[in-house]
Amino acid sequence: MIPVKINHLSFSRNSHVVFNDVNISIDPGKVTAIMGPSGTGKTTLLRLIGAQLRPDAGQILVGDQDIHRLSQKELYLARRKMGMLFQNAALFTNLSVFENVAFPLREHTQLSESMIRRIVLMKLQAVGLRGARDLMPSELSGGMSRRVALARAIALDPQLIMYDEPFTGQDPISMAVLVKLIKDLNTILGITSVIVSHDVPETSSISDYIYLISDGKVAGKGSPAEVSVDSSPEVKQFMHGLPDGVVPFHYPAKDYREDILS
């Protein structure tokens, strides 16, 4: 398990400020949630942690390594300690379930085929899909695809797993399965888990700590119980799903009457 420290992070896209002097501390062995309204940069934060993007200012420490100061070889090795569950599962469509999970093992290790087979079957067993190993991604439901992607994410026994909107578009049964899997994996493997989500009940049920991001900054933080009773306008509106508040429903535009009549 490894900690993640985000110190004075600033990041912009074109003229839009995504993060402005943000500080976040992700404790090892815990489930930390990064929550907030759509468009606040939650997925961008994961990409910054994985060094797919570079910040304008600030520092991101993964373990004791400044992730954006590593050489390409050092970054490649550092990423072996990370697992990522992508929002759309991102399975290779021309590879079977088995080969999708085997891919990182073939890419990053020199293990024998017999050992790769055993590890793949173990990971698929952990997500309840060992019997689906010969299916193609097109034959899977949305929930099954996420579970295969999760098996692939843990194939290398990472110390840090990042989940990008794991519950979006899931039916109640699939969602309950994913919630249980994430919590069980965190407990059994003793890993550090980061969940990016805007699904309040599910994420709160398994998180040890929550950061709520809004308007480029940390608007609230604390345990699920603490955040649920936070009285600040931004946190209260998001956590309780209030339609009216500081987060507007309408995208900025000129006067409605003027726009219609012009």
Mean pLDDT of 9-14: 90
CATH number at 56 reads: 3.40.50.300
Distance in angstroms (rounded) separating the CA atoms of residues 249 and 227: 22
**What percentage of residues in the chain have a pLDDT greater than 90?**
38
Work out the burial of residue 12: count CB atoms within 10 Å of its CB; fewer than 13 is exposed, 13-18 middle, 19 or more buried. Answer: middle
End residue of a domain, out of 125, 157, 189: 157
Domain span at 205: 4-81+159-261
Q: Is the pTM of this model over 0.75?
A: yes
**What percentage of residues in the chain have a pLDDT greater than 70?**
95
Count CB atoms within 10 A of the CB of residue 68: 16
Does a structural domain hold residue 87?
Answer: no
Does a structural domain hold residue 132?
Answer: yes
pLDDT of res. 256: 77
Does a structural domain hold residue 86?
Answer: no
Same domain, 44 and 123: no
Is the pLDDT confidence value at 235 over 90?
no
Does a structural domain hold residue 12?
Answer: yes
Same domain, 217 and 238: yes
Same domain, 185 and 149: no
Q: Rounded mean pLDDT of the chain? A: 86
Does a structural domain hold residue 55?
Answer: yes
Does a structural domain hold residue 126?
Answer: yes
Distance in angstroms (rounded) separating the CA atoms of residues 4 and 64: 9
End residue of a domain, out of 157, 182, 208: 157
Specify the number of domains making up the chain.
Answer: 2
Does a structural domain hold residue 202?
Answer: yes
Same domain, 145 and 221: no
Return the structure tokens found at 67: 């992730």
69-to-6, 64, 81, 196 alpha-carbon distances in Å: 14, 12, 17, 25
In contact, 229 and 40? CB cutoff 8 Å: no
Mean pLDDT of 213-229: 87
In contact, 232 and 37? CB cutoff 8 Å: no
